[in-house]
Amino acid sequence: MGGGNMGKPMAGRPMSYKVEDKRQAISLTEAERAVVTAEMRQMLASVQGVTDALARGDAQAVVDAASKSGMAMMQEVPAPIRMKFPAPFTQLGMASHRVFDRIAQETRTVTDPGPTLKLLSEAMQSCVACHASYRFAPPR
């Protein structure tokens, strides 16, 4: 490797953060955040599972991966946590869970992965939109 500062922390020089975080903060305790972020990681795993299954042409694996992030998942989040979510946040969450259910219900074969990919892209529009608008923050 050609010297320079690659991979090394820049000692003594404070990192300049030029990106202002304008996302709306949703206040969650550490325990509440752990519940919700576990759900998030499951959704990411579902996205990975669906794409992997599509690549392998395994329709049943598409169904299995997608159904793990359907509406049922939302019910697993305790009501006191859900009550802290602003309405548009809940709507974006529901929108993505619903599309995962549709992927599970509508995928019969993957000879043409197009329709399933279209739905997955639709589900991921909610990930993108919500992540652009909200963050979690500890209560103060």
| Alpha carbons 66 and 50: distance in angstroms, whole number | 6
- 25: which strand partners? 135
DSSP symbol at 20: -
Minimum distance between the CB of residue 59 and ligand HEC, rounded to whole angstroms? 20
- One residue of 37, 60, 109, 121 binding ligand HEC per CB under 6 A: 37
State which of residues 51, 71, 82, 136 lies at the interface with ligand HEC (CB under 6 A).
136
User: Which residue, 8 or 41, has its beta carbon nearer to ligand HEC?
Assistant: 41
Q: Does 61 bind ligand HEC (CB under 6 A)?
A: no
Task: Report how far apart, in Å, the C-alpha atoms of 134 and of each of 73, 89, 112, 128 are.
Answer: 20, 8, 35, 10
Q: Which of 93, 103, 107, 119 binds ligand HEC (CB under 6 A)?
A: 93
With both helix axes pointing from N to C terminus, report the angle between 87-106 and 114-133 in degrees, rounded to the nearest 10.
170
Q: Which residues bind ligand HEC (CB under 6 A)?
A: 37, 40-41, 43-44, 47, 89, 92-93, 96, 123-124, 126-127, 130-131, 134-136
